[in-house]
Amino acid sequence: MRTAKASTDAQALAALHAGYQALLGERATHTRDVLAELTAVKTELSALRQENARLLLEVGALRAQLDHQRKEPTAD
């Protein structure tokens, strides 16, 4: 009887261990996926920041041009 109980316990423990290992594997895969997505988002954010800086420079140049045009006397 004890041998059967020990065998059943061992099988249950092996099943729990296998389930735990599977969960760890899934978590590792999910973590890698999230990190890859985060890296992609960081790359996109960096590109957007560069584009934003370029646009700010362009807007500044346009404002300076408009200010310069306003200050010039008109020949009417």
CA distance 17 to 32: 22
Q: What is the pLDDT of residue 73?
A: 72
Find the DSSP H helices in 1-76.
Answer: 2-71
For the chain, how big is the Rg over CA atoms in Å?
A: 33
Q: What is the pLDDT along the chain (76 residues), one digit of tens a residue?
A: 788 888 999 999 999 999 999 999 999 999 999 999 999 999 999 999 999 999 999 999 999 999 999 888 766 5
Q: Read off the tokens for 10.
A: 């061992």
Cα 27 to chain centroid, rounded? 17
Q: What is the pLDDT of residue 76?
A: 57
